[in-house]
């Protein structure tokens, strides 16, 4: 893990923590953070108390070429941030260090990547969803809202620091220049807005437009050949095909049955029955 702290020039501003590659096969995030640091960070220091970056966090996973975290056992590092967990629990030095740094920060931006992903902020369905969605709308940042109850870095940050933001970028297992550059720009945009945004997440019953997800009863490999990420889809559109890897059947088309003109954001390579496999965004960033 590479840690860098940049001291800002605005003492009463926010302390920002940017985290990349908690999942070992997600290399785009740390590449994006590096590009952000080298080319876009400096002017932001005028409006922040500090910006700290953590790159290549899951070192053991990166070396083992897996998503999982193998420093203490093979597991998902982004499920180890339970605020009720005792520190005597089996936490590695890396996770303990991260927890302390998250507590010290005012804003935590945890950067991930997924296959076939449109760069965006991913918001949990909870009583804070509205204020996060509003921040994205005001800042003209693409976002999607989805169910996630896991003890993630974002959740821990929201409980301990105030503001926790998950970013999803495109690409796993390798890095494309354009994806990293898009990520750097998105990170800059978030910090640019959040450094001066008069906002603390406020709790209320969610009223955002329900996220739109296509679901399937099949399991297998999803293929979106012919679709442009970020492109519009319409009610009744065939959004892709699913091929069951345990079966020789031909790819089965899957139809989107949601409101018109929505935007394809993110897919997952392998799906299980009833698992959402495509997120469709209610608001598109211009």
Q: Which residues bind Zn ion (CB under 5 A)?
A: 23, 26, 112
How far from 14 is each of 10, 45, 62, 72, CA to CA, in Å?
A: 8, 10, 31, 33
Nearer to Zn ion, 13 or 24 (CB): 24
How far, in Å, CA of 262 to CA of 279, rounded? Answer: 10
Nearer to Zn ion, 14 or 112 (CB): 112
Residue with tokens 């093979």: 74
Nearer to Zn ion, 48 or 172 (CB): 172
In whole angstroms, the minimum distance from the beta carbon of 167 to Zn ion comes to: 10
In whole angstroms, the minimum distance from the beta carbon of 19 to Zn ion comes to: 11
Residue nearest to Zn ion (CB): 112
Nearer to Zn ion, 26 or 179 (CB): 26
Nearer to Zn ion, 115 or 251 (CB): 115
In whole angstroms, the minimum distance from the beta carbon of 22 to Zn ion comes to: 6
CB 115 within 8 A of CB 268: yes
In whole angstroms, the minimum distance from the beta carbon of 241 to Zn ion comes to: 25
Nearer to Zn ion, 183 or 258 (CB): 183
Nearer to Zn ion, 15 or 30 (CB): 30
In whole angstroms, the minimum distance from the beta carbon of 25 to Zn ion comes to: 8
In whole angstroms, the minimum distance from the beta carbon of 118 to Zn ion comes to: 15
In whole angstroms, the minimum distance from the beta carbon of 250 to Zn ion comes to: 32
- Work out the angle at residue 233's Cα, subtended by the Cα atoms of residues 231 and 238, and round it to the nearest 5 degrees: 120
Say if residue 204 is exposed, middle or buried (CB neighbours under 10 Å; 0-12, 13-18, 19+): exposed
How far from 231 is each of 54, 164, 170, CA to CA, in Å?
A: 32, 28, 15
- The sign of the CA dihedral 92, 111, 15, 205 is negative
Cα 117–chain centre separation: 10
Is beta strand 107-114 parallel, antiparallel or unpaired with respect to 270-271? unpaired
Q: Across the strands, what pairs with 57?
A: none
């Amino acid at each position: 893990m590479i840690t860098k702290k940049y001291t800002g020039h605005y003492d009463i501003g926010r302390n920002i923590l940017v985290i990349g590659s908690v999942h070992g096969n997600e290399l785009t995030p740390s590449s994006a953070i590096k590009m952000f640091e080298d080319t876009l960070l400096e002017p932001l220091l005028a409006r922040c108390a500090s910006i700290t970056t953590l790159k290549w966090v899951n070192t053991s996973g990166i070396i083992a070429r897996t998503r999982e975290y193998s420093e203490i056992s093979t597991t998902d590092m982004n499920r180890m941030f339970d605020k009720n967990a005792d520190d005597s629990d089996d936490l590695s030095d890396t996770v303990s260090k991260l927890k302390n740094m998250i507590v010290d920060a005012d804003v935590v931006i945890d950067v991930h990547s997924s296959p076939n992903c449109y760069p965006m902020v991913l918001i949990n369905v909870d009583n804070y969803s509205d204020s996060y969605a509003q921040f994205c709308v005001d800042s003209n940042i693409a976002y999607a809202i989805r169910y996630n109850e896991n003890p993630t870095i974002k959740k821990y940050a929201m409980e301990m620091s105030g503001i926790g933001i998950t970013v999803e970028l495109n690409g796993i297992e390798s890095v494309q220049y354009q994806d990293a550059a898009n990520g750097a720009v998105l990170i800059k945009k978030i910090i640019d807005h959040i450094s001066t945004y008069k906002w603390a997440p406020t709790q209320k019953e969610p009223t955002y437009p329900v996220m739109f997800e296509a679901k399937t009863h099949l399991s297998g490999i999803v293929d979106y050949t012919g679709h442009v990420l970020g492109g519009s889809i319409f009610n009744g559109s065939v959004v892709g095909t699913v091929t069951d890897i345990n079966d020789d059947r031909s790819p089965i088309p899957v139809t989107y049955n949601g409101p018109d003109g929505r935007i394809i954001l993110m897919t997952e390579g392998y799906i299980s029955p009833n698992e959402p496999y495509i997120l469709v965004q209610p608001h598109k960033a211009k």
